[in-house]
Structure 1
Amino acid sequence: MTSAQRLTPTKKQRVRTLWISDVHLGTRDCQAEHLAAFLKRYHAERVYLVGDIIDGWKLRGGIYWPQAHTNVIRRLLTMSKRGTEVIYVTGNHDEFLRRYSTLLLGNIRLVDEIEHTTADGRRLLVIHGDQFDVITRYHKWLAFLGDSAYEFTLTLNRWLNHWRSRWGYGYWSLSAYLKHKVKSAVNFISDFEEAIAHEVHKRGLNGVVCGHIHHAEIRRIGEVEYLNCGDWVESCSALIEHWDGSIQLYRLAEEQAQLAEAPVVAESAA
């Protein structure tokens, strides 16, 4: 039994909204098994796919598509069939879909951006966020170069977690750790967050849900509520809106740590 299967409960939890981004199906570092298990746990009224779900950049160089990646697509289609509205917001790695924006297929919509109203009335812009990344917009060749370097760190990350798993340790992201230790990366994240928050404030909205930078976070930037879904190659994170309008940041690593502590606590109590 895999760790993803162990984390899957038998009863689905009903929630109002799920947001996931930066899945990068079609790459070796996509944590598709964990994502499929996560989706299987919820019955949601609406699911937002906040960009870079399919990695068109990587698929240009050759097809890599294992069964686990198909399982994610099948899970989303099953959710749609059972009444969940699935809204696919395009990103830069799946920009080939932008020519089909406004496409509607049953319960599945394709958009470049959209506004979401929470249960308690907050208006949130839902957008991938590459539009606010100066490198992606104006220096695409540099973005491709950075993507290759990033892929190398993810390869190291994959092997590290392979051995961590064999020794009984939970998931840990080397690439995310390095990103938050390098000053230029920290400054890039800060600039991105400030730019997108400024745009949201200018539009008169309460907040934004985005992805792109693979850095999951919920915080306030001035008067704007900033929510980033994170990704499913490093942090394995998502946003969950409950029926009262509150939004929770889910992280796989935190859940694994809690489950690992539970038997110790139970044993101490006994």
Structure 2
Amino acid sequence: MGHERQLVKDMMEPRHFRTLFISDVHLGSKAAKADFLLDFLRYHEADTIVLVGDIVDGWRLKRSWYWPQVCNDVVQKLLRKARKGTRVVYIPGNHDEFLRDFPGMHFGGIEVVERMMHDGADGKKYLILHGDEFDVVVRNARLLAYLGDWAYDTAIRINILLAAVRRRLGMPYWSFSAWAKLQVKHAVNFIGEFERVVAEEARKSGADGVICGHIHHAVIQDKDGIRYINTGDWVESCTAVAEHQDGTFELITWRTLASTVPALTAVEREEAELAPQAA
């Protein structure tokens, strides 16, 4: 009880960051924790918000329409932040790949890009992408390693081309990550190989780090000299990554709704209001 009340105190004033990175919300899926994300957005502000793919689950919506009011609330919250001056950038993933047909477009103040290079406050450059384009590389890692860089680059281009063709034909995207997760004994190897391949892409792009999503495995770590950051998801882990003004990154987990936490007493509320002044 005391911990939860302290959490309410901490949330009375929104935290403000330089950048927030959010991915894999899967709005339109019954598994999406849209209410938790909405609550998170109420208490977290940023100069820039980067949506790192799979915000909307187009696959699920094609099969069966599911769009409760809370999904609208999340979208409206992001649009409202954009109207108030927050830069909001949307990098589509494989589940919302229909937006990949509109690079450079703005929708309600939200900018759509395929990938981007982020200049961190720490002076380092971070490649930002969803990560699904590397599924085919991870699946055929040993063969591609044997054939060399030419095969690697060719595989990436073919995967992007095939994804575009399948999209135009109305065919679903085939995800190796989804297949791997069904085979527990391969899952750990898949995650490690995915991290290695994505970090290598950042190195080839001249970046110091990479920020991605896709595999629903939140982490901030160094990978062979490259800072690897995965934002996680809002299906199970409810995580986001925040960049502070000094350039440090924080992995935030948001699993408590403010509405479910007991209200503060009058004394606790007064203490919480005075705390910033005392600091």
What TM-score results when the alignment is normalised by the length of structure 2? 0.73
Residue 216 (structure 1) aligned to one of 202, 215, 218: 218
Match of residue 89 from structure 1: 91
The two structures, once aligned, show a CA RMSD in angstroms of 3.0
**Equivalent in the alignment of 1:14:** 16
Equivalents in 2 of 1:128, 1:148: separation in Å?
A: 18
Contact 1:84 1:107 in 2 (8 A): no
Which amino acid in structure 1 is aligned with residue 190 of structure 2? F
| Alignment partner, residue 102 of structure 1 | 104
The aligned runs of 1:221-240 (5 Å cut-off) are 221-240=223-242
The 5 A counterparts of 1:137-216 are 137=159, 143=174, 147=178, 182-216=184-218
Give the match for residue 42 of structure 2: 40
Distance verdict in 2 for CA 1:17–1:144, change over 3 Å: closer
1:67 is matched by which residue type in structure 2?
Q
What do residues 186-210 of structure 1 show as CA deviations (whole Å, max 9, x unaligned)? 1111111111111111122100000
Give the aligned partner of residue 142 of structure 2.
none
CA 1:106–1:32 in structure 2 vs 1: closer, same or farther (change >3 Å)? closer
Q: Which runs of 4+ in 1 moved over 3 A?
A: 135-150, 253-256
Cα displacement (A) at 1:117: 0.8
Is the contact between residue 83 and residue 107 of structure 1 (CA under 8 Å) also seen in structure 2? no
Amino acid corresponding to residue 143 of structure 1 in structure 2 = W
Which residue matches 2:147?
Answer: none
Distance 1:50 1:235 in 2: 16
Q: Which residue of 1 aligns with 2:65?
A: 63
Asked if the contact 2:36/2:257 (under 8 Å) is kept, the reply is no
* Structure 1 residue 104: Cα displacement: 2.5
The residue type paired with residue 240 of structure 2 is A
Using a 3 Å threshold, how does the CA distance of structure 1 residues 116 and 192 change in structure 2: closer, same or farther?
same
Of structures 1 and 2, the one scoring higher in RCO (CA 8 A, sep 6+) is 2
1:193, 1:208 → 2: CA distance? 10
Alignment gaps of 5+ in structure 1: 154-178, 261-270
Q: Structure 1 CA distance, aligned partners of 2:33 and 2:257? A: 15
Which moves more between the two structures, 135-144 or 208-217?
Answer: 135-144
Aligned-partner Cα distance in 2 for 1:193–1:49: 19
1:115 aligns with 117
Contact 1:22 1:214 survives alignment (8 Å)? yes
Say if 1:209 and 1:226, in contact at 8 Å, map to a contact too: yes
For normalisation by structure 1, the TM-score amounts to 0.75
In structure 2, what is the Cα distance between the partners aligned to 1:149 and 1:188? 7
3-state DSSP of counterpart to 2:11: coil
Check conservation: 2:25, 2:54, Cα contact below 8 A.
yes
Q: Following the alignment from structure 1 to structure 2, what is the Cα–Cα distance between the partners of residues 87 and 95? A: 15
Q: Which moved more, 1:82-91 or 1:105-114?
A: 105-114
Q: 2:149 aligns to what? A: none
Equivalent-residue separation in structure 2 for 1:144 and 1:199 (angstroms): 19
Q: Name the structure 2 match of 1:132.
A: 134
**What percentage of residue pairs aligned between the two structures are identical?**
43
- Quick one: distance in 2 between partners of 1:15 and 1:104? 23
Q: 1:16 & 1:146 partners in 2: Cα distance?
A: 31
Alpha-carbon distance in structure 2 between the residues aligned to 1:26 and 1:14: 28
**Residue aligning to 2:268:** none
Task: Give the Cα–Cα distance (whole angstroms) in 1 for the partners of residues 70 and 35 of structure 2.
Answer: 6
